[in-house]
Amino acid sequence: MALPAQKQFKYWGIAALVFSVVLWSLGNVLLPFVLGAAIAYMIDPVADRLETMGLSRAAATAVIVVLSILVFLLALLIVLPTLISQMIELARILPEAFRDLRSFAQTHFPSVFTEGSRAQQTIASIAGTLQGKGIELIEGIVGSAASLLNVLVLFVIVPVVAVYLLLDWDRMIARVDALLPRDHAPVIRRLMAQIDAVLASFIRGMGTVCLILGSYYAISLMIVGLNFGLAVGFIAGLVTFIPYLGALIGGALAIGLALFQFWGDWWSIGIVGAIFALGQVIEGNYLTPKLVGNSVGLHPVWLLLALSVFGALFGFVGMLVAVPVAAALGVVARFLVEQYLDSRLYRGFEHPASQQQNEQ
């Protein structure tokens, strides 16, 4: 005999509350495990494909580990040194570029900087806010980088967690399935399958889109000769998973740098702008429909809200789990809407005439 719905709601509500409190209190501790689980989840289809080719789960995991090490070493030797140096130099030169822009504006638009004018006060306020936030960001980065032990632990624990979870992924799923409440197991399995489809479409698909677009931007900008082209491509690709934000940030940064580097060479500046315009055309018409599809159901506003809320509540770990939780909540919300539309609360007491009309 199943528990009454009221008691079930109470128990599940308590479990959700306990989980939220644990996530909030152990956010920094859970970071390596969240990253490891995310990596294992993304790579699991590759391991499954290798198993269908005749390899055991252990052999498939070993092949993935060896290939990952080779790719990491290749990136460490070729890409990362240049990327790190460009990021450091970009962080150093941006304040100088802002000062040059201010001097240019003061020379050509002196009325804007008239003492006491509304425009001058607004610009000063924005500059003060950006400076304060920039100092806070730099202090946070320096504080995190200074904790070398935490960084080393992160680089050690995350791969180990990912390997162990990848090795036991199918067994863990089977064990969790065996623990589902029998009365609700079919519904939970159906919802979990829908959530997995959403996550697979969004996380794996958008991860591939980010990699392709980041590589395209970096290579194209370096061919044009833009300074910090690799860093700009990395930044644009990294934030592409937030709709329109990647192109907005990357495009503004690249065009701004092109204006300072190629001032007067409007052809080169136009090429830089065309690179990002073409990237958006490729993403919107080919990459996202092909790799992500239309079944995700995550509206950009919903995604931004989830990132803001979870980031404020749980920090960086919250931002990592924001997209999966938002996708899961979207699936659950659609399920609840279906239940509501099929309930007596929505349909009321149907008259025989309306029932006969519905049957026809």
pLDDT above 50 for 138 = no
pLDDT above 80 for 332 = yes
pLDDT score of 35: 79
pLDDT score of 245: 67
pLDDT score of 346: 78
- Long-range Cβ pairs for the range 122-129 (8 Å, 24+): 127/98
Q: Please compute the mean of the pLDDT values over residues 250-264 and round it to a whole number.
A: 79
Rounded to the nearest angstrom, the gap between the alpha carbon of residue 58 and the centroid of all alpha carbons in its chain is 30
pLDDT score of 109: 62
CA separation for the pair 258, 26 (Å, rounded): 44
Q: Please compute the mean of the pLDDT values over residues 269-277 and round it to a whole number.
A: 86
CA separation for the pair 28, 321 (Å, rounded): 13
* pLDDT class of 243 with cuts at 50, 70, 90: low
Look at 158 and 299; give whichever has higher pLDDT.
158
Taking the domains of the chain in order of start, what are their residue ranges? 185-296
pLDDT score of 276: 84
DSSP conformational letter for 113? G
What's the whole-number average pLDDT of the chain?
75
**Is residue 150 within 8 Å of 144, Cβ to Cβ?**
yes
Residue whose tokens read 């528990």: 3
CA separation for the pair 304, 322 (Å, rounded): 9
DSSP conformational letter for 265? -
CA separation for the pair 262, 269 (Å, rounded): 7
Prediction pTM value: 0.63
CA angle, 147 then 151 then 155, to 5°: 170
Percent of the chain with pLDDT over 70: 70
Nearby residues of 218 by Cβ (< 8 Å), 6 or more positions away: 229, 230, 232, 233, 234, 237
Q: Please compute the mean of the pLDDT values over residues 136-147 and round it to a whole number.
A: 47
CA separation for the pair 237, 67 (Å, rounded): 23
Question: Could you tell me where the beta strands, DSSP code E, fall in 230-357?
Answer: none
Q: Please compute the mean of the pLDDT values over residues 291-297 and round it to a whole number.
A: 61
CA angle, 81 then 83 then 89, to 5°: 100
